[in-house]
Chain A
Amino acid sequence: MVMNQNNAVTRRTFFRTAGAVGAAVATSGLLNVPLTLAEEAAAPAVDVDALVAKQMGAGAIAMEKVQLDIPATAENAALVRMPVVIDHPMEANNFIQSVALFIDNNPNPFIAQFDLTPESGKAAIEFRARMAKSSKVRVVAKSNTGKLYGLVKEIQVAAGGCAG
Chain B
Amino acid sequence: MADEIGSPKIRGPKDPVKKGEVVEFKSLIKHPMESGLRKDKATDTLIPAHFIESVVVEYGGKTVLKAVWTGAVSKDPFFSFFVKAEASGPLKMTWKDNKGQAFEASATLTVA
A residues apposed to B, CB below 8 Å: 78-80, 90, 103, 106-108, 110-122, 124-130, 163-164
Chain B residue nearest to A124 (CB atoms) is: B82
Interface size on B, residues (CB 8 A): 30
Bound form: Cα–Cα A108–B62 in Å: 32
| B18 in contact (CB, < 8 A) | no
A125 (CB) vs chain B CBs: closest residue: B81
Closest chain-A Cβ to B56's Cβ sits at a distance in Å of: 10
Q: Is B83 an interface residue (CB 8 A)?
A: yes
B2-10, B66-74, B100-108: which lies at the interface: B66-74
Q: Check A78 against B74 for contact (C-beta < 8 Å).
A: yes
Q: Would A113 and B74 count as touching, CB distance under 8 A?
A: no
- Cβ-defined contact, A115 with B82, below 8 A: no
Closest to A129 in B: B72
Q: Are A115 and B66 in contact (CB under 8 A)?
A: yes
State the Cβ distance, B70 to closest chain A Cβ, in Å.
Answer: 6
Kindly list 6 other residue pairs between chains A and B, CB separation below 8 angstroms, not including A112-B69, A119-B62: A78-B75, A111-B73, A114-B67, A119-B86, A120-B81, A120-B83
Chain B residues with CB under 8 Å of chain A are 22-23, 35, 37-38, 59-60, 62-75, 77-84, 86
Interchain CA distance A118-B64 in the complex, whole Å: 8
Cα distance, A118 to B63, chains bound together (Å): 11
19 contacts between A and B (CB under 8 A): A108-B70, A110-B70, A111-B73, A112-B72, A114-B66, A115-B65, A117-B64, A119-B60, A119-B64, A120-B64, A121-B83, A121-B84, A125-B67, A127-B73, A127-B74, A127-B77, A127-B80, A128-B77, A163-B38
Name the distance in Å between B105's Cβ and chain A's nearest Cβ.
16
Contact of A125 with B79 in the complex, beta carbons under 8 Å: yes
Q: How far is the CA of A163 from the CA of B36 in the complex (A)?
A: 13
CA distance A110 to B37 in the complex (A): 14
**Contact check: which of A79, A107, A119 meets B74 at CB < 8 Å?**
A79
Write out the residue numbers on chain B whose beta carbons fall within 8 Å of the beta carbon of A116: 64-65
B15 to chain A, nearest CB (A): 18
Check A119/B79 contact, CB under 8 A, given A111-B73, A164-B38: no
Q: Complex formed: what's the CA distance from A127 to B79 in Å?
A: 5
